[in-house]
Amino acid sequence: MRGLDETDRRILRVLDEDARMPTAMIAMRLGLARGTVQARLERLRESGALRLHSARVSPQALGRPVGASVQVELDQHQIGDAIAALADIPEVLECFAPAGSTDLLLRVVAKDPDDLYRVSEEIRLCPGIDRTSTSLFLREVIPYRVTGLLAEES
């Protein structure tokens, strides 16, 4: 992915404020041609600069107000099977492969603590998973954001 120029950053800042803003409105607000904005958005999508799976819908709105992180230790020979099985669990919002002693780090949601237990058990029973450790999120203190990064120089 090539670096973002100032026009890309301007477009992304507008989208960060309102991800549903139509292309024509972005163009008008920034004084750009609609075709320019459309072409750049398409290029940003193709390059991976725009997230494929939107975070626009809050899990709370879908009846999943409980959030947690789950650290997973697994049999390295079954990592592909484990990831495939985890991808089939709708409550698993994200899965990362971090450096360190944890093999996978998941962000999950649930309806309530009992449902979180169910989700944790579903994760634990995936092929190749040896052990899990779940940490409940009590409160979001800094929401997902990129606005500050968009102000930086490449």
Burial 52-81 (b: 16+ CB within 10 A, else e): eeeeeeebeeeebebbbbbbbebeeebbee
What are the backbone angles phi and psi of residue 50, rounded to the nearest 5°?
Answer: -100, 135
Query: Which domains can be identified in the chain, with CATH numbers?
Result: 6-54 (1.10.10.10), 59-137 (3.30.70.920)
pLDDT of residue 150: 81
pLDDT digits (tens, 9 = 90+) for 50-109: 776 655 667 887 899 999 999 999 999 999 999 999 999 999 999 999 999 999 999 999
Neighbours of 9 (CB within 10 A): 17
* CA torsion, ordered 8, 13, 16, 17, to nearest 10 deg: -140
14, 26 Cβ separation under 8 angstroms = yes
